[in-house]
Chain A
Amino acid sequence: MSAELWTEAELRRICDRALRECDGDQAEALVLASTNELTRFANNVIHQNVASREAALQIRVVVGKRVGMVTTNDLGEDGIARAAKGASEVARAVPENPVFGGLGGAQPIPPSPSAFVDATASATPMDRATRVERLLRAARERKLTAAGYLSTGANEVAVANTGGVWGYSPSTLAAIEAVVTGDAGSAWAERSATDVRAIDIDAVTREAVEKCAAAQGPRDLAPGTYEVVLEPYAVADIAQFLGSVLTGQAVEEGRSFVGGKLGQKVTGEITFVDDPFDPASVPMPFDFEGQPSRTVELIAGGVAKAVVYDRQTALRTGGANTGHGLPPNPFASSQPFHLRIEPGTKTRDELIRDVDRGVLVTRFHYTRWVHQLRTIVTGMTRDGTFLIERGEVAHPVKNFRFTQSYHDALAGTLGIGKDLHLFAGGTFSFGARRVPAVRLAQFAFTGATQY
């Protein structure tokens, strides 16, 4: 099947209808629409294979300092009118929010590279099954077991308000994740791209299968503080956690490690940029409030430079709106959507070669804040953890638990890979990240598991 887009014209109709039906001083209509398909495999067969076509309209109505919100997926004329009426009624019933600064007006939206690729939107279940089968066949031939998914789909964002804001951004995303498991050890490979044709299934297969062979029979290694080389899969996790507190709201609430430290050194020589126009990411030139997104250098050579803002936080705290507002929600008002850690000069193998004794980590699992202000995170290593000795991968080791301040770990940045890896979508993540492998002087493994 080809993904049937909702289309700009249809989403414009929905937004216009919603705004017409609202009764308030200001109103906003935001539609998040998707047509996504996902082929999931495990035990070397496709066991779950799904498709869904979804769109939700979120209407925000402002009456003075009162704000009401209603979300619906009934996008017929009556459904839209009901939701608009409901949001208007809520806006008149709720108490005032004295710190609400009103909706933003129309700003010029800069041009950005297209994130939409027809080949991805039109991929069929059989296309995905054919690609997946190549991976599964390779696993079966090596007497290994593969699990993961291949997804393709299209996402559309449309936002309008009574101040003249209009933004529409279609994008596509193809993603594959694969864990390949042997009798005593597993390995991982993952790719994301706006163009499904850019996902090299054979490269994914090769990476996971070959690393799986190397990961068999992990040995005990005592927990402790080690020099590490982190593959991009693990670095993406660091980028996501640190990115989540490189926001005006996190600074305002005293939760950010850069709070009160702009202009100061907070990490080693590493640079974080949020770049909504990065053609190798999933570019989108405006945020979910329809405000133009700016490229923001967050950390430059280890020095904290800036954080990203949404409109309300910027108004409240005196910051400048950078166009990073999320859909209205009570948890996080903004986020770097297109985070990039700037590349270094070394290949992954060169990073390993520079280590006398350390640990190579493929990826992290089940990471959670332990102490957000100090960026302490705990989690496990998974799917390929190895001892490095004298610049060579010596042997696999059993997985560690780590409890480590992420920004403290980056203070010991010894090397940065030259190749960036895109992470977009993901099961419960939002936004995109492009990150390299890194070599860090110290990483605290505080425990170990039995495999």
Chain B
Amino acid sequence: MVERDLARRGVDTARTRGASYADVRFVRRAVEDAFVKNGHLDTIDRTDTFGFGVRVVADGAWGFAASQLVTPAEVDRVAALAVEIAKASATCKQRDAVLAPVQAQTGTYRTTIGIDPFAVPFEDRVGLLLAAEGAMRTVKGLRTTRANYEIWREDKLFISSEGADLEQTLYECGCGISAEAVGDGELQVRSYPAAGGRTQNQAGWEFVTKWDLVAHAPRVAEEAVALLTAKPCPQDVRTTVVIGDAQLMLQVHESCGHPIELDRALGTEAAFAGTSFLTTDRLGTFRYGSDKVNMRIDSTSPGGLGTFGWDDEGVPASEGWAVKDGIFVGYLMSRETAAALGKPSNGTMRADGWARLPLIRMTNVSLMPGDAGTLDDLIADTDDGIYMETNRSWSIDDKRLNFQFGTQIGWEITGGKLGAMLRNPTYTGITPEFWGSCDAVCSPSEWKMWGTPNCGKGQPGQVGHTGHGAAPARFRNVRVGVVR
């Protein structure tokens, strides 16, 4: 394999130039995105990118350089540049970079898929979107209708100066539909299966067909139109809230996934994403939520966007607890941050392609199911409150304490039954108080693995793909309603 030879050459060049550690990643990514809008195929783009990045420690500090020109001379230039950059970093260092040890790994990993999405006839892929989008437009009163899919394949090679030699092939598929209705100063949207255009998993085309977009399209469209005249969400009240799993997975992402990133807790993301209220002195003792709240870090979960054989530092996939019985017990770690705590890395470093440095990213951070039965059971068990579903708006402070979410739709819950539809629902709170008010999580039958293929972090910016399992859950005494 030419890339392997070049990767080894890059490692050797970096070492010769003075690097005490070096790794080289080659990444080839193929993505196809198709979007149908208002009855026609709006855009279809097939993107193929290929290149390599060299990461080094020299003079005790970090350097990274990347290029898409795959030649021996360019590998030499980029490896030398990475070392030059590291030596510039070293002029400001206060101590040498230390990496937690890892047993050098060799091997291959491949996502288990049913149907290769790139092998599905093109007309079948686009045809599914046209059918689903067309089924929404049977409903009158819509302004904009959309349907989309993404199919994704990434081939990665990782070679390090410690002897790692790892090849991985990851597949992803995602899809979604949405309908927008406009009228009388209102703009309302409904989407399916999730917000943000689509949900995504590591899977084959079977992941797209399983959602049966066509069958759900009329309901999605009808709800968008109905929301225009629905009752406004109650304003600035405290009430019980039941949150659907497609929304709750984003709550997990923002209020658990990000604050358990150890780089944030140690201050290295302070300028952009921020830090974390889950400081290292709180590890193992801080009450994050009620004893109903269990959050798991698991890069082995089938389907999760954070599933792999090894992370981009060559650390094997792992599983463990972030929150156990409500207590904060685990971080997402890199080799360097783990060393700061005297721990081994749990393998969460991932880069957005070849041109970016690996960062600590959520793998699959999931709210584990409880024992509250089905969603219907949970609503039947709730006397008074609001059921909220599908994200519309999200924001959280830079320590991940104060959050505010809006959902696309809500319904009153009265006497254990869903009542009137509510428009512009929002809820807000402080993270540990909110999770502390959780008194019920639905059972495994309601638990799904969701995917967020759009998590931003780092400078220069990187987009990460993260997985979050969740089941609907209930929260007491939540502040609701800020949109008048």
Q: Is the CB of A373 within 8 A of B48?
A: no
Is B91 located at the chain interface by the 8 A CB criterion? Answer: yes
Residues of A in contact, count (CB < 8 Å):
92
- Interface residues in B21-53 (C-beta closer than 8 Å to A): 33, 35, 37, 40-51, 53
Q: Is the CB of B401 within 8 A of A40?
A: no
| Chain B hits for A55, CB < 8 A | 68
Q: Is the CB of B65 within 8 A of A51?
A: yes
A42-B271, A177-B271, A370-B406 in contact; A129/B395 too (CB < 8 A)? no
| Chain B hits for A73, CB < 8 A | 48-51, 68
Q: Is the CB of B398 within 8 A of A446?
A: no
User: Of the candidates A49, A328, A367, A446, which one forms a contact with B45 in the assembled complex, judged by CB atoms under 8 Å apart?
Assistant: A328
Which of B87, B268, B394, B397 has the most A CB atoms < 10 Å from its CB?
B397
| Chain B hits for A130, CB < 8 A | 91
**How far is it, in angstroms, between the C-alpha of A299 and the C-alpha of B430 when the chains are bound?**
38
A97-B40, A371-B424 in contact; A380/B84 too (CB < 8 A)? no
Closest chain B residue to A329 by CB distance? B43
Closest chain B residue to A83 by CB distance? B48
| Chain B hits for A96, CB < 8 A | 40
Q: Is the CB of A69 within 8 A of B45?
A: yes
Is A401 located at the chain interface by the 8 A CB criterion? Answer: yes
Chain B min CB distance to A370 (Å): 5
A181-B270, A371-B424, A403-B482 in contact; A49/B187 too (CB < 8 A)? no
| Chain B hits for A133, CB < 8 A | 91-92
A40-B459, A48-B62 in contact; A94/B44 too (CB < 8 A)? yes
Is A171 located at the chain interface by the 8 A CB criterion? Answer: no
**How far is it, in angstroms, between the C-alpha of A94 and the C-alpha of B43 when the chains are bound?**
10
Interface string of A128-157 (1 = CB under 8 A from B): 111011001000000001011101000000
- Interface residues in A65-116 (C-beta closer than 8 Å to B): 67-75, 83, 86, 90, 93-99
Closest chain B residue to A370 by CB distance? B393
Chain A min CB distance to B15 (Å): 19
Q: Is the CB of B45 within 8 A of A369?
A: no
Q: Is the CB of A49 within 8 A of B86?
A: yes
| Chain A hits for B357, CB < 8 A | 48, 50
| Chain B hits for A178, CB < 8 A | 271
Closest chain B residue to A364 by CB distance? B395
**How far is it, in angstroms, between the C-alpha of A1 and the C-alpha of B68 when the chains are bound?**
18
Q: Is the CB of B42 within 8 A of A46?
A: no
| Chain A hits for B143, CB < 8 A | 253-254
Is B272 located at the chain interface by the 8 A CB criterion? Answer: yes
| Chain A hits for B443, CB < 8 A | none
- Interface residues in B44-87 (C-beta closer than 8 Å to A): 44-51, 53, 61-69, 81-82, 84-87
The size class of the interface chain B forms with chain A is 35 or more
Which of A39, A48, A93 has the most B CB atoms < 10 Å from its CB?
A48
**How far is it, in angstroms, between the C-alpha of A241 and the C-alpha of B415 when the chains are bound?**
41
Interface of A is mostly: strand
Q: Is the CB of B68 within 8 A of A47?
A: no
**How far is it, in angstroms, between the C-alpha of A74 and the C-alpha of B246 when the chains are bound?**
38
A96-B40, A97-B40, A368-B393 in contact; A43/B267 too (CB < 8 A)? yes
Q: Is the CB of B41 within 8 A of A95?
A: yes
Chain A min CB distance to B408 (Å): 12
Chain B min CB distance to A140 (Å): 9
| Chain A hits for B41, CB < 8 A | 94-95, 97
**How far is it, in angstroms, between the C-alpha of A51 and the C-alpha of B79 when the chains are bound?**
11
Q: Is the CB of A49 within 8 A of B63?
A: yes
Closest chain A residue to B37 by CB distance? A330
Chain B min CB distance to A278 (Å): 25
User: Of the candidates B93, B395, B399, which one forms a contact with A45 in the assembled complex, judged by CB atoms under 8 Å apart?
Assistant: B93
Q: Is the CB of A149 within 8 A of B187?
A: no
User: Of the candidates A38, A39, A69, A382, which one forms a contact with B398 in the assembled complex, judged by CB atoms under 8 Å apart?
Assistant: A382
User: Of the candidates B46, B122, B424, B479, which one forms a contact with A71 in the assembled complex, judged by CB atoms under 8 Å apart?
Assistant: B46
Interface string of A1-39 (1 = CB under 8 A from B): 100000000000000000000000000000000001111
Is B319 located at the chain interface by the 8 A CB criterion? Answer: no
**How far is it, in angstroms, between the C-alpha of A136 and the C-alpha of B92 when the chains are bound?**
8
**How far is it, in angstroms, between the C-alpha of A148 and the C-alpha of B269 when the chains are bound?**
8
**How far is it, in angstroms, between the C-alpha of A86 and the C-alpha of B53 when the chains are bound?**
27
Is A301 located at the chain interface by the 8 A CB criterion? Answer: no
| Chain B hits for A74, CB < 8 A | 48, 50, 68
| Chain B hits for A98, CB < 8 A | 40
A43-B266, A93-B123 in contact; A449/B397 too (CB < 8 A)? yes
**How far is it, in angstroms, between the C-alpha of A94 and the C-alpha of B35 when the chains are bound?**
12
Chain B min CB distance to A223 (Å): 10
Q: Could you list 20 further interchain pairs (A-B, Cβ under 8 angstroms) beyond the known A1-B84, A39-B89?
A: A45-B61, A48-B459, A49-B85, A50-B63, A67-B43, A70-B45, A72-B49, A73-B51, A94-B126, A145-B267, A177-B459, A178-B271, A374-B185, A378-B404, A382-B398, A401-B397, A403-B404, A449-B397, A449-B402, A450-B402
19 A-B residue pairings within 8 Å (CB atoms): A36-B460, A41-B92, A46-B62, A49-B61, A50-B63, A70-B48, A97-B41, A99-B40, A125-B87, A129-B88, A129-B91, A145-B267, A147-B270, A179-B271, A330-B35, A365-B274, A370-B426, A380-B397, A450-B401
A-B interface, 8 closest residue pairs, ranked by CB to CB distance from nearest:
A254-B182, A330-B35, A125-B88, A449-B402, A373-B187, A147-B270, A147-B271, A71-B47
